[in-house]
């Protein structure tokens, strides 16, 4: 799931360099197009490395500020540089993260909530389940892309696990989403292929989470939209 641009760039550059070495050994030179691609990838890798160094040099206060900016922008945890840096640190004040969660009791609080869960689960569990459920369900309903949540049937991200953990507190909001048939797209080549195979909708994510919360650990979404709609009607009591 977590195919970051950095990893992709490194892989492509390695392929490019390896191909270059092979051709040079054969007495051939890079084409102009291949050389441009090589230079572009090297430039991108340098920019990524410099950005990572910049975030690594920030203190926790600045990183938490950046975290909120990126949470407001609906960045995924794996694409949030502040989140990725903070989760590696052992000196982050849990109370500072908790304050951000309390001050942002809707979708904007998603990244600090997930960070608190990652760094200090005890303090995380001190946040009432109703509050956690509101942040998580607001974020789910407001998602433009659903990579933050993962792929039902295949892989669940931390946000999905957290939503299932809050249990019955999330049920009312999830049931309201059962009538929302808007598409739930994902980016990334493999993720997009699965999305097109299932044609995920917001109501399908809600159905999946409701079944898991009710204890149906083996529940899988059907590929057929008609079958999923029939299951939704059962839950909705129609």
**Whether 116 and 51 share a structural domain:** no
Return the minimum-mean-pLDDT range out of 5-19, 90-104, 112-126. 5-19
What's the pTM? 0.81
Nearest to 148 by CA among 78, 205, 203: 78
Query: Does 122 score more than 50 pLDDT?
Result: yes
The single-letter DSSP state of residue 187 is: -
How many CA atoms lie within 13 Å of 81's alpha carbon, on the beta-carbon side? 18
**Whether 143 and 202 share a structural domain:** yes
Looking at residue 238, what is its pLDDT? Answer: 55
Separation of alpha carbons 127 and 134, rounded Å: 11
**169 - beta bridge partners?**
none
Domain boundary among 79, 102, 127: 127
Domain boundary among 127, 142, 169: 127
Query: Does 144 score more than 70 pLDDT?
Result: yes
Range of the domain at 43: 1-13+37-57
19 part of a folded domain: no
């Amino acid at each position: 799931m977590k195919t970051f641009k950095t990893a992709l760039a490194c892989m492509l550059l390695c392929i490019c360099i390896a191909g270059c070495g092979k051709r040079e050994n054969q007495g051939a030179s890079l084409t102009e197009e291949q050389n441009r691609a090589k230079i572009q990838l090297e430039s991108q890798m340098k920019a990524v490395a410099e950005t990572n160094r910049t975030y690594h040099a920030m203190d926790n206060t600045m990183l938490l500020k950046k975290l909120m900016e990126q949470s407001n922008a609906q960045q995924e945890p794996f694409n949030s540089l502040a989140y990725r840096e903070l989760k590696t640190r052992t000196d982050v004040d849990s109370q500072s993260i908790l304050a951000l969660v309390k001050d942002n009791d809707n979708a904007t609080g998603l990244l600090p909530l997930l960070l608190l869960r990652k760094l200090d689960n005890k303090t995380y569990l001190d946040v009432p389940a109703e509050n956690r459920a509101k942040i998580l369900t607001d974020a789910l309903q407001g998602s433009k892309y659903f990579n933050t949540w993962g792929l039902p049937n295949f892989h669940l991200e931390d946000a999905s696990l957290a939503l299932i953990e809050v249990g019955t507190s999330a049920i009312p909001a999830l049931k309201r989403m059962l009538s929302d048939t808007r598409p739930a797209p994902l980016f990334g080549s493999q993720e997009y292929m699965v999305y097109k195979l299932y044609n995920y909708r917001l109501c399908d994510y809600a159905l999946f989470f409701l079944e898991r919360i009710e204890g149906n650990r083996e529940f899988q979404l059907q590929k057929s939209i008609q079958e999923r709609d029939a299951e939704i009607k059962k839950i909705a009591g129609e």
